[in-house]
A and B are shown apart, each in its own frame.
Chain A
Amino acid sequence: QQQVKQSPQSLIVQKGGISIINCAYENTAFDYFPWYQQFPGKGPALLIAIRPDVSEKKEGRFTISFNKSAKQFSLHIMDSQPGDSATYFCAASHTGGGNKLTFGTGTQLKVEL
């Protein structure tokens, strides 16, 4: 079963626009929610992460919004740039869950000039 559902599958945004990727989870034991960025031919790399005791975390142009009651979290990329074009994965893990991350299905973002 897909414990972390991610949408959209692909996204095209104009340079300078806002990119929004959404994820929903089922397991209420999850207590760590990272986003990973992957460029072609590379492994995923941590972009930003949040714990459920805060509703928002911002790092530069990247913001995670977290809604614990709805079991949803999203990534917002402000002032999107062509260099942001990559695949983005949301993920979740929980203490005592073997430290293993459960990933969403990924979103291919393309930022056009």
Chain B
Amino acid sequence: DAGITQSPRYKITETGRQVTLMCHQTWSHSYMFWYRQDLGHGLRLIYYSAAADITDKGEVPDGYVVSRSKTENFPLTLESATRSQTSVYFCASRETGVNTEAFFGQGTRLTVV
């Protein structure tokens, strides 16, 4: 199926565990992004990537790691999960250009207990 997909949709993990959220897009968009959504904060950028093997920090990168070995995949890893990382995580992709639309996945609801 064409589009951008995230997995898992829901995840419960314990404090201190490592967890990886997956993101896959089929358009070969150059740019990919990870946002977290929290009430009162809107969508905050965690990390983004301009191309395979090129990543950069966003507004709230602490505690997260990303990689992008292939254009279509952009996994987000929480190295040692904390309760403050309980959130809904959205992956997005966007083609290069000034007015290009960003397409979002369905989100992953992560709960850290």
Query: CB within 8 Å of B: which residues of A?
Result: 6, 9, 31-32, 34, 36, 41-46, 49, 51, 89, 95, 98-106
Contact = CB atoms under 8 A, between A and B. Distances in A.
A44 B41 contact: no
Contacts of A102: 45
A34 B92 CA distance: 15
Given A43-B104, A43-B107, A105 B42 contact: yes
A99 B106 contact: no
Given A46-B102, A99-B50, A99-B96, A6 B42 contact: yes
Contact of A104 (B31, B42, B45): B42
Contacts, number: 64
B84 interface: no
Nearest to B100: A99
Interface of B: 30-31, 33, 35, 40-45, 48, 50, 56, 58, 90, 92, 94, 96-102, 104-107
A100 B58 contact: yes
Given A42-B106, A44-B90, A105 B41 contact: yes
Nearest to B94: A99
Contacts of B101: 34, 46, 49
A99 B42 contact: no
B32 to A, nearest CB: 10
Contacts of B43: 44, 89, 103, 106
9 contacts: A6-B42, A9-B40, A34-B101, A34-B102, A44-B43, A99-B94, A100-B45, A104-B42, A105-B41
Contacts of A98: 31, 48, 50, 56
Contacts of B45: 100-102
A49 B99 contact: yes
